[in-house]
Amino acid sequence: MPENFVNIISDLGGTMASLAFAGYLIVYLLKGFAEERKIHLDKDSRNDDELRSLMRESNAALISTMRETNTILAEILIAVPYTCSFVPAAYTAEDSVQARASYSALFIAQWVYNCTTQIAPRFGANGLPQQLALQYAAQECSCVIDKFMNEFNQTEIINMTMEDRSAFSGTFARQCLANSL
């Protein structure tokens, strides 16, 4: 029996030692994982703070750029009365109903072209590529021209004095600017 008892104790001791070691290893690994997780969470928190800071800076820069663009648009739209020339286009009969209700394509094309070519360089001077500057200029000019077309017929616009044209252009430009903001 003593031999069996020694074997039993030796088997039991080895098993117990193995279990104790496994338990210690589990506790050690769990502590290591907890520390590693804390390190990663701290790093993520720092990265999140940096990202929030970059987003704030980016948003502030975007808002600043938008304000500058709106200021430029305001200056350009205020300048529309002085840069948009109204060139008489092809003749249409004044007494026809259609002549009073519509505009000739040539008149509109010349009007948009003259206004756009005058305003586009101002957008380009502020760093916009030429195509984008032309697009913005055409949009702003078209808005003012649409306002004119809603209020006046082609003959009235052609016969308008420069002072009246400038006054209406300024009013319409401010309305367009208010709508684009």
What are the boundaries of each domain within the chain? 2-180
Calculate the CA 109 to chain-centre distance.
30
128's CB contacts (< 8 A; 6+ apart) are: 136
- Which comes out higher in pLDDT, residue 88 or 164? 164
**CB atoms closer than 10 angstroms to residue 127:** 9
Angle subtended at Cα 141 by Cα 136 and Cα 147, rounded to the nearest 5 degrees? 135
pLDDT at 49 over 90: yes
Q: How confident is the model at residue 53 (pLDDT cuts 50, 70, 90)?
A: very high
**CB atoms closer than 10 angstroms to residue 131:** 10
pLDDT at 117 over 80: yes
**CB atoms closer than 10 angstroms to residue 87:** 12
Name the average pLDDT for the chain: 78
Give me the mean pLDDT over the 62-78 stretch: 73
User: What's residue 88's pLDDT?
Assistant: 44
pLDDT digits (tens, 9 = 90+) for 8-45: 666 667 677 778 888 899 999 999 999 999 999 999 99
User: What's residue 89's pLDDT?
Assistant: 44
